[in-house]
Chains A and B, each alone.
Chain A
Amino acid sequence: GNSVTQMEGPVTLSEEAFLTINCTYTATGYPSLFWYVQYPGEGLQLLLKATKADDKGSNKGFEATYRKETTSFHLEKGSVQVSDSAVYFCALWPGNTGKLIFGQGTTLQVKP
């Protein structure tokens, strides 16, 4: 079946540190991959996406590359800010089935 596994949180970093949040997936076919972000007290919003192998999604300084050979979609940012503190969700859409599959979420806390 299809599944998404993210690294356990919480992740605590100092401002300007480098961020990596690992995400690996299991899927049949060629899914689309997403990162969503949930700021405190808000709903989820799309951060970036990639629809095929080797695509790189990027937004707000965050990047993730769709790696089919390692079935991964790790989220990275070169220099985090306090305002990046949020919960990050990796997700997979197999297409057609209508069900977006989420990882368990990773809480990021950035300290000044």
Chain B
Amino acid sequence: DTAVSQTPKYLVTQMGNDKSIKCEQNLGHDTMYWYKQDSKKFLKIMFSYNNKELIINETVPNRFSPKSPDKAHLNLHINSLELGDSAVYFCASRAPQTGELFFGEGSRLTVL
């Protein structure tokens, strides 16, 4: 039973299109994140939600819009995709007492 699951695992699309990635966690955690990993494996935090409220927004372009319908779900919608958006996007949830993050398997986005 996967703790943090994200779909789809792969997206290939053209510049200018819009795409969404969904994430769900069954750990009962209040806090969830989106990270972007570039080709050099560098991890950059994008957003964090705590119990459906946005708490971290790290200077991400407005084309990226997270949505948290409930504390178990955090989705990411990207408008007007650009070549530089090509990356692997990871969803994670955080254990409240220890700070440990539990990651999904990643969604590899390729913009052509």
- Which chain A residues have a beta carbon within 8 Å of chain B's beta carbons? 32, 34, 36, 38, 42-46, 49, 51, 87, 89, 93, 95, 98-100, 102, 104-105, 107
Contact = CB atoms under 8 A, between A and B. Distances in A.
Given A87-B41, A89-B43, A98 B48 contact: yes
Interface string B77-112: 000000000000010101000111111111000000
A36 B43 CA distance: 12
Chain A interface mostly: strand
Contacts of B103: 43-45
B75 to A, nearest CB: 17
A98 B102 CA distance: 14
Given A43-B90, A87-B41, A100 B106 contact: no
B99 A100 contact: yes
Nearest to A89: B43
A49 B94 CA distance: 14
Contact of B100 (A43, A46, A95, A107): A46
B55 interface: yes
